Amino acid sequence: MPWGTGTGISEPFADKVRAGADAGLVTFHFRHRVDGLVFDGPRVVGVRGTVLAPDTARRGAPSSRAAVGDFELRADAVVIASGGIGGNHEQVRRWWPERLGTPPRRMITGVPEHVDGRMLDIAADQGVRLVNRDRMWHYTEGLQNWNPIWPDHAIRILPGPSSIWLDARGRRLPAPGLPGYDTLGTLELLRTTPDIADYDYSWFVLDQTILKKEFSLSGSEQNPDITNRDLALLLRSRLGRTAQGPVEAFKEHGADFVVADTVEELVAGMNDLSGDGLLDAAEIEQQIVKRDNEVDNPYSKDVQVMGIHNSRRFRGDRLFRTAKPHRVLDPAHGPLIAVRLRIVTRKTLGGIQTDLEGRALGADAQPIPGLYAAGEAAGFGGGGAHGYNALEGTFLGGCLFTGRTVGRSLVRAL
């Protein structure tokens, strides 16, 4: 199950590549940073770059960029699979589309530092055709990681449907601004609504019951039960009385959490945290009461309450995902919790344009002999297979599919 943690998906592929290395079919060149493609006439015949100093940084952590040498490698074909641009805020701002309003002044980073988009610019400078660079996918439910692996490390909440989502001014977001509903729709809402676009954050208001049942965090280290395939831990942590360990740790140590017993205290904490003083406790309480009053109404027209009932019709969500509808102000479900949410940079939906065989195209829209592209660098396929939007969680699929397409093409071509 790839629930915010892809280790189980990549493992069979990694095993095959390691087996290939053991059989002498694959050679790894770790710490070799590509700085350019090598051409022989129109054909790509290799790569050149810098050998970086050895480093034992753990996975995802920044590593030394100190150069200790140069290299050039020649091959019958080169495949660019260098990922997207999400770790490079300058690039994200540069390509931020007008349809998503203005980029926030402060974003946090949902990918490791090596997802820097550098190779895409190198390829473009050498005549590779890049398209749809204004297509991107960033999350609106980002937390600053209290225990970061990479700089400005953000964790995305994978939220169930019950948290009350407020804008920076403390108003409930209209649909599609409901937790877990529509990533880019909510991003657009937050970044194009004039009186909130000046602020870089929004809020979830919830209670301990919702936190326990509905908060999951994205990232392999945040899901030790699934990452380590520990069924006992999975059942204990997802069905137990407290929230999962990593979620409780965020509640305790995270810079974005406010925990209180009354709305007044909660809102005071929220105003302190933002420093903007935009929130009025009475107004927020009124909205929560209004929403709470809808919980027992089976014919409620409150879109969020309808969504909660809808979600609980599915047994899997009822068991693992969606808290039983209840009054957020009922102290039995307390304490109250507010979470400040920022924009998390994540996916790049455009990139190197390829044909259906995964061959990279040049400025003249013809395949460049010897050059291929796969994965996020190729916009998950063709230079933007998803279009302007995407279905949640379908990105790795594009990486696997384009990898397979390129692999098959190489077998045919070489």
Ligand X SMILES: Cc1cc2nc3c(=O)[nH]c(=O)nc-3n(C[C@H](O)[C@H](O)[C@H](O)COP(=O)(O)OP(=O)(O)OC[C@H]3O[C@@H](n4cnc5c(N)ncnc54)[C@H](O)[C@@H]3O)c2cc1C
Kindly list the residues in this chain that would bind ligand X in the complex (CB under 6 A): 2, 4, 6, 33-34, 81-83, 110-111, 114-115, 118-119, 218-219, 347, 375-377, 393-396, 399
2/254 with CB nearer ligand X: 2
**Among 57, 49, 52, CA closest to 68:** 52
CA distance linking residue 165 with residue 11, whole number of Å: 37
CA distance linking residue 380 with residue 244, whole number of Å: 32
CA distance linking residue 315 with residue 277, whole number of Å: 42
> What's the closest the beta carbon of residue 141 comes to ligand X, in angstroms?
13
116/207 with CB nearer ligand X: 116
> What's the closest the beta carbon of residue 183 comes to ligand X, in angstroms?
12
> What's the closest the beta carbon of residue 202 comes to ligand X, in angstroms?
20
219/384 with CB nearer ligand X: 219
95/199 with CB nearer ligand X: 95
Strands, E, within 293-350: which ranges? Answer: 336-348
Q: Give 345's DSSP letter.
A: E
170/219 with CB nearer ligand X: 219
**Among 168, 172, 167, CA closest to 289:** 172
59/301 with CB nearer ligand X: 59
54/331 with CB nearer ligand X: 54
122/284 with CB nearer ligand X: 122
> What's the closest the beta carbon of residue 172 comes to ligand X, in angstroms?
28
Exposed/middle/buried for residue 70 (C-beta within 10 Å: 0-12, 13-18, 19+): exposed
Length of the chain: 414
User: If you search the block for the tokens 């301990």, which residue do you land on?
Assistant: 208
> What's the closest the beta carbon of residue 394 comes to ligand X, in angstroms?
6
CB atoms within 10 A of CB 342: 20
> What's the closest the beta carbon of residue 60 comes to ligand X, in angstroms?
8
44/263 with CB nearer ligand X: 44
367-373 vs 78-80, strand pairing mode: parallel
User: If you search the block for the tokens 């344009």, which residue do you land on?
Assistant: 353
Largest interatomic CA distance in the chain: 73
> What's the closest the beta carbon of residue 208 comes to ligand X, in angstroms?
26
Residues 209, 211, 213, CA angle at the centre, nearest 5°? 70
> What's the closest the beta carbon of residue 298 comes to ligand X, in angstroms?
34
> What's the closest the beta carbon of residue 174 comes to ligand X, in angstroms?
27
83/160 with CB nearer ligand X: 83
CA distance linking residue 365 with residue 131, whole number of Å: 11
Backbone angles phi, psi at 348, to 5 degrees: -115, 115
Strand partners, 205: 164, 338
CA distance linking residue 351 with residue 386, whole number of Å: 11
User: If you search the block for the tokens 């022989």, which residue do you land on?
Assistant: 40
**Among 167, 241, 211, CA closest to 326:** 211
> What's the closest the beta carbon of residue 133 comes to ligand X, in angstroms?
16
Q: Give 219's DSSP letter.
A: S
**Among 201, 202, 191, 166, CA closest to 304:** 166
